[in-house]
Amino acid sequence: MKEITKEFRLLPEEAVVCRDNKVGDGANPIGLKNNELILTNQALIHVKKDLFGKTKEVIRYPLADICMSQGKPQVLLGKGDNVTGSVDVFLQYETVNFKFEWKTDAEEWIASITETVTGEKVERKSPFGDMGDFEDLMNMAESVTGTVKGLKKAFGIASTEAVACKCPSCGAPLSGVEDEVVICPFCGASTKLKDE
């Protein structure tokens, strides 16, 4: 059962896993900057502070009180906008909601709580998304490069790209700028340079 006290105190053998000093609760999201959330190997502890930073109330939710489903603690990303984060913790007697400054903080806390409860490592999402996203980005960059070239041509902007090709009449190597007309020094044929 949860325990409400006036001061923050760790129990014997209790160790802090992580803490965040800007965590609000669902009932008072405005109090974001004054509340601290501490995860220990035994409990989630919400330290509520007044405007002057003085501890008002300490609520201790034992990790053993968190509902489990298929071996996982029911600690889920709550409703929020896309920037701030919200975590719903389903306890046997109530559901508490914590508000975080950033959505990534909320995701990190869910992973940390899950790891502490189950003792198993949780895979973190890469900050760059999965590799599929990365490949999409590379393909997009590549197609944009092609598009820029196409657009330049469409608007009649002369290309400044250096190209090398062979004279179509005698096969001598020719070089210059793309779309430039060059006279072959060997056979005298005029050729418009094309990117190959």
Task: State yes or no: residue 175 binds Zn ion (CB under 5 A).
Answer: no
In this structure, are residues 59 and 45 in contact, taking their beta carbons and an 8 Å threshold?
yes
**How much of the chain is helix, strand and coil, in % rounded to 5?**
25, 35, 40
Residue 169 found at the interface with Zn ion (CB under 5 A): yes
The site for Zn ion, by CB under 5 A, has a size of 8
Cβ closer to Zn ion: 177 or 183?
183
Check residue 190 for interaction with Zn ion (CB under 5 A): no
11 binds Zn ion (CB under 5 A): no
CA-CA distance, 170 to 147, in Å (whole number)? 33
Q: Is 8 in the site for Zn ion (CB under 5 A)?
A: no
Q: Are 135 and 150 in contact (CB under 8 A)?
A: no
174 binds Zn ion per the rule CB under 5 A: no
**DSSP reduced 3-state for 18:** strand
170 binds Zn ion (CB under 5 A): yes
Residue 167 found at the interface with Zn ion (CB under 5 A): yes
Q: 17 or 182, CB closer to Zn ion?
A: 182
141: which residues sit within 8 A by CB, 6+ positions away? none
Residues in contact with Zn ion by the rule CB under 5 A: 167, 169-170, 172, 184, 186-187, 189
